A = this chain, B = another copy of it.
């Protein structure tokens, strides 16, 4: 078993593709972690903004979360239809492309791509951040831990979908189970205590309010809370990863994710209000996350608390995985339309789109390194991308229903139109209220990505116009090429090159470049004896020896000049330049060689002009002289011609 198999697993053949696909139960860990983890930071983000209101803040969290949950249901409804209508995945991008045109589609794609990249960096640094606050000794190695986790996620995803699904199932359902149990216990206690439960471990006292609730403050709180909705679009991008009927599987997964998320958000909001839990100022001593306060208030600080917190940390870390499932598929769709290089549409040895996975990983690594592993200020960028995608998707669906013959199309259209309006409004609120906090960056990166996608497509179109044809081949019976063999000295490497040259053309020019001040063996002398004589004796054409003088000691320039002259003299023929090359065993042996051959090949390819073709004749260091001489002799049943002077038949010929 090679290291490659050990690391990435055995290659999976094409016909096992169906077996690699997922059902809804595995779909939730693969595509839903991003959305579910939002439950851990969405309410907290809103409560942090409300902190200035003091105890009065918890009054508003309920309504805010209710609005967000409502939006969530609208978005879910929209994506349900999207999944059914576009079972090849792509979500917002596909919807926009079909219904709104290429430009809105690329805008959606740019927004989604940005979100996916951000999600990886932010999720990993959030997870590692939580881990580091638990084990402070790890603090100096934070960036390293982030990169290690990123590497691990990349590896797991390169191994294929099934691996990722199975591996992430345990922490996901542990997270859902523990948190669900906490909320259930909390609600039971709430009801039993008649609305005023006593906390097992009381939450920190809230500071006294320093402001009153203004519309601006509530808008900002709402915009922050909206980060809870990011990640919902992932399922609609990843429809093809489900087993048939895939639309059904994807819809069930989406329903599961949104249901669990809404339940968690509602429960957290309800219990925060009941127990008087607020946010604690982040980045200061005494900071405690809202979820930690909720769990301690309901269940105390026993084993259950620690298991729940561990599950939350694990899900935060692994929520990066949603991007690994969504981004490569989005890139594949873009590549199929020529907006990205074709490599993004090729599935690798484990049937995943390896190029997308690797590029995602590299982009996230750049972000992590650039921000030193702390990516908090990137969070506001998220919501803008997500809501842009939501809006474009729902707006697209409005057009979709217009052309549909479904009897319920009219109703659906209204729902999508309302949804588009709501998410567009939210997008506006988020963009305005978070603009200075970093949302402005989305107005730089999304257009940049948009331009990149457009420019790539334009380039491919130009290449296609230049190279594409459906005409029959133009048959121009050109004569044999003129073969040019650059020769430094007469050795076995050169001899093999000449042998090959003579099999493809009778007109071979062996060219030696000699500088006045360089030591370089005189060839004229031995050429006659060692090349001309044996070839003449065999009745074969004889290569011409050309010696070029180099006044400035370069080898490549005089050679290029000669080749150009030949090309002009024979405008109806190819000029094939045959570069002999010694193949070494070890890479470091190449340090010992001049790279004239490499430079020459590059120069000829890039500047040689349309008539020039480059031939590379390798000579292996362990190669026998003329390796298939015996075979030739056997095939021809005639003795070899070993040069003019040696006339006796070769002993090993049959």
A549: nearest residue on chain B (CB-CB)?
B14
A472, B534: Cβ atoms closer than 8 Å: yes
Min CB–CB distance A574 → chain B (angstroms): 6
Partner of A517, one of B347, B349, B493: B347
Q: How far is the CA of A584 from the CA of B490 in the complex (A)?
A: 36
- B467 touching A619 by the CB < 8 A rule? yes
Residues of B within 8 A of A348 (CB): 553
CB distance A479 to B467 under 8 Å?
no
Q: Is the CB of B591 within 8 A of A341?
A: yes
Q: Which residues of B lie under 8 Å from residue A14 when comparing CB positions?
A: 515-517, 551-553
B517 with A478: CB separation less than 8 A = no
Chain B residues with Cβ below 8 Å from A533 are 472
The winner among A345, A477, A621, A635 for most chain B CB atoms within 10 A is A477
Pick the contact of A572: B500, B625, B632 (CB < 8 A).
B632
Known contacts A336-B519, A348-B553, A472-B529; is-contact A605 B583 (Cβ 8 Å): yes
Set B341, B474, B491: member contacting A593, Cβ < 8 A: B341
Q: Mark A582-613, 1 if CB is under 8 A from B, else 0.
A: 11000001011110000001000110111111
Is B625 in contact with A618, judged by CB distance below 8 angstroms? no
Contact indicator A346/B518 (Cβ below 8 Å):
yes
Q: Which residues of chain B come closer than 8 Å to A611, judged between CB atoms? A: 627-628
**Interface pair A553/B616, CB less than 8 Å apart:** no
Contacts of A573 in B (CB 8 A): 503, 628
CB within 8 A of A478: which of B490, B499, B606? B499
Taking CB atoms, residues of chain B closer than 8 Å to A480 are: 503-504
Pair B478/A632 contact, Cβ less than 8 Å:
yes
- Select which of B15, B342, B601, B634 is within 8 A of A516 by beta carbon: B15
Contact segment of A25-33, A366-374, A638-646: A638-646
A535 to B124, CA, bound (A): 60
Chain B residues near A421 (CB-CB < 8 A): none
Contact A629 B476 (CB under 8 A): yes
Decide if A472 touches B553 in the complex (CB within 8 Å): no
A505-B504, A516-B15 known; A615+B613 contact, CB < 8 A: yes
Most buried by B among A469, A504, A643: A504
Q: Which residue of B lies closest to A491 (CB)?
A: B467
Which of B13, B470, B617, B645 is within 8 Å of A472, CB to CB?
A: B645
**Contact status B504-A492, CB under 8 Å:** no
Shortest CB-to-CB span from A570 to chain B, Å, is: 8
Known: A480-B503, A601-B616, A618-B605. A495 touches B474 (CB 8 A): yes
A470 close to B347 (CB less than 8 A):
no
How far apart are the CA atoms of A480 and B500 in the complex, in Å? 9
A645 to chain B, nearest CB (A): 6
Name the B residues within 8 Å of A473 (CB-CB): 495, 498-499, 530-531, 534-535, 643
Q: Give chain B nearest CB distance to A624 CB in angstroms.
A: 8
The CA-CA distance from A349 to B550 in the complex, in Å, is: 11
- Please state if B459 and A592 are interface contacts (CB–CB under 8 Å): yes
A475 and B641 contact, CB distance less than 8 A: yes
Task: Check if A471 is an interface residue, CB within 8 A of chain B.
Answer: yes
Contacting pair A572 B631 (CB below 8 A): yes
Question: A467 near B481 (CB under 8 angstroms)?
Answer: no
Say if the beta carbon of A131 comes within 8 Å of chain B: no
* A288: interface (CB < 8 Å): no
A residues whose Cβ falls under 8 Å from a Cβ of B: 11-15, 17, 336, 341-343, 345-349, 351, 456, 459-460, 462-463, 466-481, 490-493, 495, 498-500, 503-505, 515-519, 526, 529-531, 533-535, 537-538, 540, 551-554, 571-574, 576, 581-583, 589, 591-594, 601, 605-606, 608-629, 631-636, 640-646
Q: A473-B495, A504-B505 are in contact. List 9 more A-B contacts (CB 8 A).
A: A14-B515, A341-B592, A346-B518, A456-B592, A472-B644, A500-B574, A571-B628, A610-B624, A616-B616
